[in-house]
Structure 1
C-alpha cells in the first residue's frame, strides 16, 4: 500500500495533512482531552436568535473559548458558560503542533473541542469571529471519518469534499482563511479510537493580533 502524502495543498492557504498523527499520538491526545472535559464539561451550544441547539457538543481550552447563545450570539470569552470557571490551559502537545505547523509567530489563544455523534453535522460557515484573521485555523480530526466540505470565500462558490480520517490535520490560512467549510456527515465504525464512536474535532485559533 502506498504511503499517504505528508501534505496536500488544495488551494492557496488550504493545507491537508493526512495521517499526520499516529495511533499512539491520537490515543494520548484523547486522554488529554478527557482531562479537559473533566474540568470544562461538554455542553450544547445554541444558534443566535432562534436558540436552536447545534448537533455537536463542545467545550474549549486556552485563555479564551468560543461560545454562542440565543441572546448574545457568537463570541469569545474567558470562562465556561455553564460552570463560570476559566477554561483549562491548552496542553503542550497542541501548542507544539501549532508551533510546528501553523507558521504563525504567536501561540493560539483558543482551542475548540467539538464532539460529533455519528449523526451530527456542521453546516457551511466561515470562522470569522476572530480579530486576527492573519493567523490560520488548525484543525485536528480524531475518531470516526467525516465528510468535510470546503468552498470559497462566498457561500455560493463551488465546493469540494474529502474524507477527514482520525489523525488528519487541516489548516485554513492565507487566502483560504475565510473559506466556507462544514461537515456533511460522520461515517460510523470507521475508527476504533473512541470507544463509543463519534468524532472529536479540535480547532486551534489565534483570536487577537
Structure 2
C-alpha cells in the first residue's frame, strides 16, 4: 500500500514538473540552431541527389525532416510555459537562432523546388512523399514559430521581423509543393496545378 502511494506521489511530481517546465533563452536559441543544422543537412542531401542523380540519400532526407518535426512538437510544450522575454540581449539570442532555422528551411524548400524534376524521375513515390513531408513540416513549424514569436514583446522589432520570416517560410513551402505539382502535371496541363487553382481563387 505504501509503495502504491509513493508511486502515485512520484507520478504527480513528474506531471507537475512537465506542466511547469520551461526553457531559458539560451536553451531555446541552442534548440533553434540545432534544428537549423538539420535543415541545412537535409538541403545538402537534396542538392546532392539533384547533382548526382542518386536517389540513395532520399530516405535520409525524410529522416531529417521527421526528426525536425518530432523535436519541434516536443519543444512547443516547453515554450508554451516560457515567459515573455524582457531583456533585449536575450531577445537577440533567440532571434538569431530563429533566423538561422528559418534560413535553413528557406534553403531546403528552394532545394526541393529546384530538384523536383530530378527527384520525381529517380523515385516516382517522391511526387507524393515530398509534398506530404513538406505539409507536415510546415504545420509543425507554423505552430512552433507562433510560440517562438509570442516570446517577443508585441512592441518589439524582433516580433515583427520574426512574423515576416514566418510568412516567408509559408510561401517557400507552398512554392516547393507547387513545383512538384507542376512537374506531375507536365506541359499543357498547368490548369490543374496548385498555382492555377490558387490564381483561380484569387480572381473570384
Query: What is the TM-score with the length of structure 2 in the denominator?
Result: 0.25
Q: Quick check: which one's helix share is greater? A: 2
Over alpha carbons, which structure has the higher Rg? 2
Q: Quick check: which one's strand share is greater? A: 1
Query: What is the TM-score with the length of structure 1 in the denominator?
Result: 0.24
